[in-house]
């Protein structure tokens, strides 16, 4: 039986642990926070189906508990051996293993770095993550406690942006913005919603249909354009300076709430794990797998594998599938070295 450390107990890490346990191995999840589930703990309803996040998370949590998988909470991995034989935590504790799956996920872009959008300056500027938390309470009110009459949603905040050194596309924020626009219209049918996008990237099954539904059924206004500046009016509304780039016309618009679709950035532990383990990083800071095709969960180092958003922005189903696949790959590598690849 092989002991395999899983760094990170999000959906990818949990799927890896469940698969390894089912294969008769001994997984240990190291989770830096005090709970499993990663970002899904923060989301309300998930695209593409508007399924409550809890309906995806709870069965995983139950399965991990029922399988008796060992979990160490408050355990932040800081370093990993280049041959996967152990992990060192931030408190200096060393844990031995036969191999490691890094499923340490992603970080949300810090919207304060785009000062021009007024996050943490104006109360009525929220991020997409903040909005998910408001949806959980079934109320999305302005700072004055009023129902919003008009909301703007801005795409690509902290993604595709050289100025903040985040050149990659975060992939899931376009569909998040469309989903959130529809949810706002469901909650407040009189509220106008404007989505300001650079490109609408509907890459997965069902996404294009949701985009169409947002227009035909929910009458969401999608405007190709950027917001250049946000200020606050005397009445406490937000004044947006923007441009519709399709017709080349500058615009000014007053809204009650501005939602910033923050990007998915590389995990904060990636640099220290990469340096200690000799692991390759992409220019985006995400881990760089051995090759982009058959080896996309295998690292450049022995007995070290990846799962989920540790390597790139992904949706939940992609992250969960990665967990299963990474478990199989490390299992084969450790138990049948001749048969691997
Ligand atoms: C605003 C927003 C909304 C989204 N909504 C949807 C949606 O509706 N549908 C959908 O399919 N996808 C959605 N996504 C994407 C979804 O959140 C991810 O696909 C999913 O969270 C990836 O899971 P993960 O396990 O790879 O990473 P995470 O969820 O980030 O989990 C990683 C875990 O690792 C832990 N960890 C990190 N570093 C360490 C370390 N060094 N040591 C130990 N533990 C560590 C973290 O605490 C965390 O528990 C959304 C993303 C965003 C930004
Ligand atoms: S998915 Fe859409 S909003 Fe997100 S970075 Fe890519 S283009 Fe921008």
Question: Average pLDDT for residues 72-84, to the nearest whole number?
Answer: 98
Amino acid 246: pLDDT: 84
Q: Strand order in 77-80's β-sheet?
A: 77-80, 86-89, 94-96
Question: Average pLDDT for residues 201-230, to the nearest whole number?
Answer: 96
* Chain center to CA of 268: 13
Indicate whether this model's pTM tops 0.85: yes
- Pair 236, 128: CB distance under 8 Å: no
Q: From atom 2 of ligand 2, which residue's Cα is the shortest distance away?
A: 174
Mutate to test the pocket of ligand 2, among 106, 153, 170 (most ligand atoms within 8 A of CB): 170
Gap from CA of 173 to ligand 2 centroid (Å): 5
Gap from CA of 51 to ligand 1 centroid (Å): 17
What is the H or E stretch that residue 329 is in? helix 316-335
Looking at the chain, which runs of residues are DSSP E strands? 3-7, 26-31, 45-46, 51-52, 70-73, 77-80, 86-89, 94-96, 99-102, 106-108, 125-127, 150-157, 192-197, 221-224, 227-232, 238-244, 249-255, 257-262, 264-266, 304-306
103 lines ligand 1 (CB under 6 A): yes
The CA distance from 313 to 10, in Å, is: 14
Q: What's the farthest any 2 CA atoms get from each other in the chain?
A: 71
Q: From atom 30 of ligand 1, which residue's Cα is the shortest distance away?
A: 105
Amino acid 243: pLDDT: 85
Domains plus CATH for the chain?
3-105+267-339 (3.50.50.60), 111-264 (3.50.50.60)
270 lines ligand 1 (CB under 6 A): no
Gap from CA of 262 to ligand 2 centroid (Å): 9
Q: From atom 13 of ligand 1, which residue's Cα is the shortest distance away?
A: 315
Question: Average pLDDT for residues 246-254, to the nearest whole number?
Answer: 90
Atom of ligand 2 nearest to the CA of 168: 5
Q: From atom 1 of ligand 2, which residue's Cα is the shortest distance away?
A: 171
The Cα-based distances of 243 to 55, 162, 224, 251 in angstroms read 40, 20, 8, 5
Q: From atom 6 of ligand 2, which residue's Cα is the shortest distance away?
A: 169
Mean pLDDT in the chain? 96
pLDDT at 205 > cutoff 70: yes
Give the model confidence (pLDDT) of 255-312 as tens digits: 999 999 999 999 999 999 999 999 999 999 999 999 999 888 999 999 999 999 999 9
**When comparing pLDDT for 337 and 273, which is higher?**
273
204's tokens? 């997965």
Give the model confidence (pLDDT) of 142-192 as tens digits: 999 999 999 999 999 999 999 999 999 999 999 999 999 999 999 999 999
233's tokens? 């009016």
Gap from CA of 201 to ligand 2 centroid (Å): 7
**When comparing pLDDT for 339 and 132, which is higher?**
132
Amino acid 340: pLDDT: 56
pLDDT at 338 > cutoff 80: no
Give the model confidence (pLDDT) of 22-45 as tens digits: 999 999 999 999 999 999 999 999
185's tokens? 């219209």
Percent of the chain, pLDDT > 70? 99
329 lines ligand 1 (CB under 6 A): no
200's tokens? 């609408």
pLDDT band at 247 (very low <50, low <70, confident <90, very high): confident
pLDDT band at 341 (very low <50, low <70, confident <90, very high): low
Gap from CA of 198 to ligand 2 centroid (Å): 8
Question: Average pLDDT for residues 225-243, to the nearest whole number?
Answer: 94
Amino acid 324: pLDDT: 98
C-beta atoms surrounding 295 within 10 Å = 14
Atom of ligand 2 nearest to the CA of 159: 5
């Amino acid at each position: 039986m092989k002991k395999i450390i899983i760094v990170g107990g999000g959906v990818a890490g949990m799927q890896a642990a469940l698969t390894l346990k089912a294969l008769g191995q001994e997984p240990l999840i190291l989770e830096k926070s005090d709970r499993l589930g990663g970002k899904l703990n923060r989301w309300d309803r998930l695209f593409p189906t508007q399924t409550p996040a809890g309906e995806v998370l709870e069965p995983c949590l139950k399965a991990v508990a029922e399988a008796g998988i060992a979990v160490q909470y408050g355990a932040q991995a800081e370093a990993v051996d280049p041959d996967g034989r152990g992990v060192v935590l931030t408190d200096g504790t060393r844990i031995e293993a036969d191999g490691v799956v890094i499923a340490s996920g992603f970080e949300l872009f810090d919207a304060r770095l785009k000062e021009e959008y007024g996050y943490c300056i104006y109360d009525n500027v929220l991020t997409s993550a903040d909005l998910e938390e408001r949806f959980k309470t079934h109320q999305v009110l302005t700072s004055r406690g009023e129902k919003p009459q008009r909301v703007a949603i801005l795409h690509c905040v902290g993604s595709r942006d050289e100025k903040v050194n985040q050149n990659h596309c975060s992939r899931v924020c376009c569909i998040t913005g469309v989903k959130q626009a529809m949810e706002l219209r469901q909650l407040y049918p009189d509220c106008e919603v404007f989505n300001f996008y650079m490109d609408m990237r509907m890459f997965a099954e069902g996404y294009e249909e949701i985009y169409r539904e947002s227009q035909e059924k929910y009458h969401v206004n999608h405007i190709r354009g950027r917001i250049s500046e946000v200020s606050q009016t005397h009445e406490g509304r937000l004044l947006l300076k923007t441009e519709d780039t399709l017709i080349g016309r500058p615009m000014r618009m007053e809204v009650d709430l501005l939602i910033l679709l923050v990007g998915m950035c590389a995990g904060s532990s990636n640099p220290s794990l990469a340096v200690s383990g000799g692991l390759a990083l992409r220019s985006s800071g995400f881990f760089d797998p051995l090759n982009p095709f058959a080896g996309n969960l295998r690292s450049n180092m022995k007995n070290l594998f990846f799962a989920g958003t540790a390597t790139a922005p992904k949706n939940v189903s992609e992250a969960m599938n990665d967990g299963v696949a990474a478990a199989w790959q490390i299992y084969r590598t450790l138990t049948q070295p001749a048969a691997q690849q």
